[in-house]
Amino acid sequence: MNASAPRPDLMRFFLKTYGCQMNERDSEAVEAVLLECGHRRADCENDADLVLVNTCSVRGKAEDKALGKLGLLVATKREKPERIIGALGCMVQRLGSSLLDRVPGLDLAVGTHRLVRLPEIVEQAARGDGPVVVVDEAERPAEVLSGRARRGPSAFVTILLGCERRCTYCIVPAVRGREWSRPGADVIEEVSRLAAGGVREVTLLGQSVMAYGRRNEVWPGNYTSGRGYREPLTRLLEAVGAVDGIERVRFTSGHPSGCTPELARAMAEIPEVCQHLHLPLQSGSDRILEKMKRGYSVRDYRLAVERLREAVPDMALTTDIIVGFPTETGAEFEMTRRFCAEIGFDNAFIFKYSPRPDTPAAGWTDDVPAQEKIRRNQVLLEDQNARCAAVYRSMPGTVVKVLVSGLSARNRARWTGRTRTNRIVVFEPAVGVKAGDTVRVRIEKAMPQSAFGVIERAAK
């Protein structure tokens, strides 16, 4: 056999991802470990011998999409009987082996906690030992799957696994497990490796990222902060920002209780930390927030925002909103609408409430009619689209620093990138500019969700 020919037991794989940034990061790590084992990426789904779907359980619609996709993929085995189809992630963690009843013909299913075992599970399925289902319901933390498969200047780094908040509508604690923070030294080692590979921007991930270091020790007793920070997250932001090659640091998702004076100070003092924070609100009604068990009031949220903006006046905020939560009245929806206008979010991700199994809210009457949920969702979307357009209309004539991501997905003749406030900028290519460069772009035109400009020069 030709030494350069691929081994017959190695496969071309394709990975489809649903859900949040944590899922995107898990998928990157899964790709990396498969590549390290000698498997190869397929150019498209149809060319793959192994197709994996990384699933989401946060909303019923996300599960329905994943189940539908898996059913279609299993059907392709009639023409390609040797093809292996697998499910990964949150839906597997929730359903366990019962997923096989939903999707007969599935070859493997691996939950959120044991993705590190994927290569051996793929090997079992390839031998015909399937279906293989691995779901660890133990209390010990998930194993962190390290590695980066995708090239580009930006990367996700998980710093906090699981969640302890137990919001009444949320299934995350059930599928992601108990809260556990990675040691600071482990995070810095991963960020350093990424920076050495060309990464210039990292986003630190956690379901409730500001709880970093609250449940377990993350720094040795002799660790000292150059700026005198005492909180685990601010210490980590300082240390990550100091990694050679890292120009930008982001972290998500936030919680108002974590917007401490020290965090505000750190966001103002650490040059690498971006002026952008995703801070879920969910509702502008105190009664609904209490029913959701969010752990803050509208006043608490307002004070958190004021603290951040006092320290960082140009802070850009994005958020999550749920409409149609059980017993939400029209008046309470209007409270949410007014509060969103007061805060002035750069962007908002708006969701219609759907009950999730085994959550407290699932036992309550889902009493807001479906059509009314759709109406409230549409009203908030229209409000937010108008605010977003106003943000971009304010940009023409300004010069912004943009980290170049690469070619624009919509127009391959142009390039795209983001500002430190996470605003999307599209620009004409320039000689010598490549992904990972930071450039100064003069904004010439506003679009509803982005801005267009021309490069002035590379930023210093």
Res 459: pLDDT: 66
Chain segment 67-123, per-residue pLDDT in tens? 999 999 999 999 999 999 999 999 999 999 999 999 999 999 998 877 888 889 999
Q: What is the DSSP letter of 409?
A: S
Distance between CA atoms of residues 133 and 88, nearest Å: 10
At residue 145, the pLDDT reads 61
On the question of pLDDT at 206 being above 80, the answer is yes
What pLDDT is attached to residue 139?
46
Tokens of 245: 């090659």
Do 180 and 215 meet the contact criterion of CB atoms below 8 Å apart? yes
Mean pLDDT score across all residues of the chain: 91
Choice among 98-102, 135-139, 148-152, 370-374 with the minimum mean pLDDT: 135-139
Could you state, in order of their start, the residue ranges of all structural domains in the chain? 12-134, 151-274, 308-393, 399-458
The predicted pLDDT at position 6 comes to: 45
In the chain, what percentage of residues exceed pLDDT 70?
A: 94
CATH number for the segment(s) 12-134: 3.40.50.12160
- Tell me the pTM: 0.89
In the structure, what pLDDT confidence band is assigned to residue 367 with cuts at 50, 70 and 90?
very high
User: Is pLDDT above 70 for 142?
Assistant: no
Question: Would you place residue 143 in the very low, low, confident or very high pLDDT band (cuts 50, 70, 90)?
Answer: low
- Contacts of range 388-394, beta carbons closer than 8 Å, 24 or more positions apart: 388/346, 388/347, 388/448, 388/449, 389/446, 389/448, 389/449, 391/346, 391/423, 392/423, 392/446, 392/447, 392/448, 392/449, 392/450, 392/451, 393/446, 394/446
Between residues 25 and 426, the one the model is more confident about = 426
- State percent of the chain over pLDDT 90: 75
Q: pLDDT for 286-333, tens place per residue? A: 999 999 999 999 999 999 999 999 999 999 999 999 999 999 999 999
The four Cα atoms 318, 27, 209, 255 give a dihedral, to 10 degrees, of 30
For range 206-235, the mean pLDDT: 94
Burial (Cβ within 10 Å: 0-12, 13-18, ≥19) of residue 12:
middle
Q: Write phi, then psi, for 413 (nearest 5 degrees).
A: -90, -5
Reply yes or no on whether the pLDDT at 164 is more than 70: yes
Please determine whether the domains at 12-134 and 399-458 fall in the same fold group of CATH.
no
Which residues on adjacent β-strands are paired with residue 181? 160
For the 151-274 domain, the top CATH level (class) is alpha beta
Per CATH, domain 308-393 is 3.30.750.200 = yes
State in words which class domain 399-458 has: mainly beta
Confidence of residue 193 (pLDDT cuts 50, 70, 90): very high
Instruction: Fill in the amino acid letter for 143.
Output: E
pLDDT for residue 440 is more than 80: yes
